[in-house]
Structure 1
Amino acid sequence: MNYTEAVDLYSGFAEPLLSFPVIVALLLVALPAAAFVGFHLGNVEYRRRGYNKVPAEQVPGGTSLGAMLALLGLLLGFAFSSALGWREARQSTLVDEAMAISTAFLTADLLDDPGRTELQTRIVTYAQTRLATRDDIATREAWTDFLSRTFAAQAEIWPATRRAMDAEISDPVRTAVARSVTDMLDAHTQRIAAAAEQIPPPAKLMIVLVAVFAILIVGNRSALQGRPLTWRTFVFAAVLSVVMIVIYDLDRTLEGTMRVNPDTLRATIHDLETSLAVRGG
Structure 2
Amino acid sequence: MGLLGNVDAIWIALGLLAAMLVAHEISFRRAGRVRRESAGDEDEPSTGLESAVSLLLGLLLAFSFSMAAGRYEQRQDLVIAEANAIGTAWLRCDLLAPDAGQACRRGLREYTDLRLAIYEAPDDPAVLADLVGRSQRSLDALWRVVAEQAVAAPSPNGSLAVQAMNDVIDRHGERIAAYRRHVPDEVILMLLGLCLAWAAFTGHAQGWMGRRYRLGWPVFAVLVALVVFITFDFDRQKRGFIRLDATQSLYDLRDSMGP
Q: Distance in 1 between matches of 2:136 and 2:115?
A: 10
1:87-106, aligned counterparts within 5 Å? 87-106=72-91
Residue type at the aligned position of 1:124: R
CA contact (8 A) 1:34 1:215 kept: yes
2:162 matches 1:178: yes
Per-residue CA distance 1:217-271 (angstroms, 9 max, x = gap): 1112101111124211101101111111111111111222222221111211222
Q: Distance in 1 between matches of 2:137 and 2:56?
A: 48
Per-residue CA distance 1:148-190 (angstroms, 9 max, x = gap): 122121221111213444675x712111111111111111112
2:240 matches 1:256: yes
Per-residue CA distance 1:58-78 (angstroms, 9 max, x = gap): 322101101111111121121
Q: Distance in 1 between matches of 2:230 and 2:189?
A: 15
2:124 matches 1:138: yes
Q: Distance in 2 between matches of 1:137 and 1:22?
A: 16
Q: Say which structure, 1 or 2, has more relative contact order (CA 8 Å, 6+ apart).
A: 2
Q: 1:122 aligns with which of 86, 99, 107?
A: 107
Q: Partner residue of 1:49? A: 38
Residue type at the aligned position of 1:221: A
- Scaled by the length of structure 1, what TM-score is found? 0.83
- Judge which range, 214-223 or 155-164, deviates more: 155-164
2:228 matches 1:244: yes
Aligned length in residues: 257
* Structure 2 unmatched runs, 5+: none
Residue type at the aligned position of 1:255: R
- Judge which range, 87-96 or 250-259, deviates more: 250-259
Q: Partner residue of 1:150? A: 135
Tell me, what secondary structure is at the counterpart of 1:254? coil
Q: 1:28 aligns with which of 2, 17, 33?
A: 17
* Structure 1 unmatched runs, 5+: 1-11
**1:14 CA drift (Å):** 8.4
**1:30 CA drift (Å):** 2.3
2:56 matches 1:67: no
- Judge which range, 180-189 or 24-33, deviates more: 24-33
CA contact (8 A) 1:38 1:219 kept: yes
Q: Partner residue of 2:206? A: 222
Q: Distance in 2 between matches of 1:102 and 1:268?
A: 7
- Judge which range, 73-82 or 31-40, deviates more: 31-40
Q: Distance in 1 between matches of 2:144 and 2:78?
A: 25
User: Residues 15, 124 of structure 1: CA spacing in aligned structure 2 closer, same or farther, 3 A cutoff?
Assistant: farther
| RMSD of aligned alpha carbons | 2.2
- Scaled by the length of structure 2, what TM-score is found? 0.90
Q: Distance in 2 between matches of 1:134 and 1:221?
A: 49
Q: Distance in 2 between matches of 1:167 and 1:246?
A: 53
CA contact (8 A) 1:79 1:199 kept: yes
Q: Distance in 2 between matches of 1:70 and 1:14?
A: 25
Q: Distance in 1 between matches of 2:108 and 2:84?
A: 13
Q: Distance in 1 between matches of 2:4 and 2:47?
A: 41
User: Residues 79, 13 of structure 1: CA spacing in aligned structure 2 closer, same or farther, 3 A cutoff?
Assistant: closer
Q: Partner residue of 1:84? A: 69
Q: Distance in 2 between matches of 1:49 and 1:138?
A: 57
Q: Distance in 2 between matches of 1:166 and 1:115?
A: 12
Residue type at the aligned position of 1:33: V
CA contact (8 A) 1:68 1:210 kept: yes
Q: 2:146 aligns with which of 161, 166, 169?
A: 161
2:190 matches 1:190: no
